[in-house]
């Protein structure tokens, strides 16, 4: 007997906060949670993925190339070699979660969308690969457009607090972020991507100083006012470590605080490592700011 295909959530923006769980199919995730670290196998990764969904993940974001400061880019072939076996097994599990692929490469996106993935999460906002927008449009997928001015050769090393991309030049931080996101939105629309399939991410931790990241959180409502759903991903990042003087494995409380503030300022999706804890934070914050109870 064929198993009945589980329905994936269709986000109803504004009603509640959606939880995106991070799945790093890499050996060098900045947070140390990469599935290729240590004794990884699909057999032990799939149960962890099931646990994320059970803990409250609406979306699973799968990345096979690290974007941590100081990481080495990999070839499309290596990225696919990491992604395809895991994604094939994952899609066969008939999970209810939306499957998002964290990539900026059109060939990777096309392969994964053809396999059954739902969203593309592009850290370069459609500006790194000119073909990606048309791929996403042709496949009818949703796209996350992240703001990013990081320069890979400008990395600050804080010792046990980790590494960070140094701050890019801004004349007006929020104004410049909005202009850059508008440019990405225009690329998407020109390629035929529906407005309803565009999600914005201000890019916390990507080419911003500690104070700039804090300002983005404080003024996130100005990004929300652009008229699109907003995703934020401060989970365990170095600006939290700098504020609290804590290494990456001790930043959950700081992450909770940052995400609760982001939800209060209009965030629709939170991208997190610790699904269970952050799902509870989101539910509590929603009860206050969205009056979900």
The closest alpha carbon to 106, from 78, 91, 89, 126, belongs to 126
User: In 3-state terms, what secondary structure has residue 43?
Assistant: helix
Structure tokens at 114: 């053809």
Place of tokens 């206050």: 288
CA distance 245 to 185: 36
Q: Which residue in 68, 82, 236, 237 is the catalytic one?
A: 237
Residues in the chain: 293
CA distance 201 to 185: 12
Residue 127 to residues 132, 210, 273, Cα–Cα distance (Å): 9, 25, 27
Q: Decide if 212 contacts 203 (C-beta within 8 A).
A: no
Structure tokens at 59: 């979306």
User: In 3-state terms, what secondary structure has residue 73?
Assistant: coil
CA distance 248 to 260: 19
Structure tokens at 197: 């399939």
Catalytic annotation present for 271? yes
Catalytic annotation present for 236? no
Q: Which residue in 208, 236, 242, 271 is the catalytic one?
A: 271
CA distance 16 to 34: 29
CA distance 39 to 249: 20
CA distance 133 to 109: 10
The closest alpha carbon to 136, from 49, 199, 197, 204, belongs to 197
Structure tokens at 63: 């990345």
Active-site residues, by number, are 237, 271
């Amino acid at each position: 007997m064929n198993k009945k295909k589980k329905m994936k959530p269709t986000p109803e923006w504004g009603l509640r906060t959606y939880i995106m769980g991070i799945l790093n199919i890499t050996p060098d995730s900045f947070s140390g949670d990469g599935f290729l670290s240590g004794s990884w196998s699909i057999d032990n990764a799939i149960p962890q993925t099931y646990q994320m969904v059970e803990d409250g993940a609406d979306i699973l974001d799968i990345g096979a190339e690290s974007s941590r400061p100081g990481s080495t880019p990999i070839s499309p072939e290596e990225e696919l070699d990491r992604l395809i076996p895991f994604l094939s097994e994952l899609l066969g599990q008939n999970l209810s979660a939306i499957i998002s692929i964290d990539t900026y490469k059109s060939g990777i996106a096309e392969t994964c969308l053809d396999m059954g993935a739902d969203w593309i999460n592009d850290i370069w906002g459609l500006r790194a690969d000119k073909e990606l927008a048309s791929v996403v449009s042709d496949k009818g997928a949703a796209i996350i457009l992240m703001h990013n001015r990081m320069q890979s050769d400008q990395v600050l090393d804080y010792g046990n607090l980790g590494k960070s991309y140094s701050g890019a030049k801004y004349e007006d931080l929020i104004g410049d972020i909005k202009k850059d996101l508008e440019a990405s939105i225009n690329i998407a629309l020109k390629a035929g991507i529906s407005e309803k399939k565009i999600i914005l991410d201000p890019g916390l931790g990507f080419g911003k100083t500690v104070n700039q990241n804090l300002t983005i959180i404080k003024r996130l409502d100005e990004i929300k006012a652009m008229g699109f759903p907003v995703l934020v991903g401060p989970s365990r990042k170095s600006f939290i470590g700098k504020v609290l003087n804590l290494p990456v494995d001790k930043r959950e409380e700081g992450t909770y605080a940052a995400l609760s503030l982001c939800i209060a300022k209009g965030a629709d999706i939170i991208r997190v490592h610790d699904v269970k804890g952050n799902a509870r934070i989101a539910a509590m914050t929603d009860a206050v700011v969205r009056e979900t109870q």
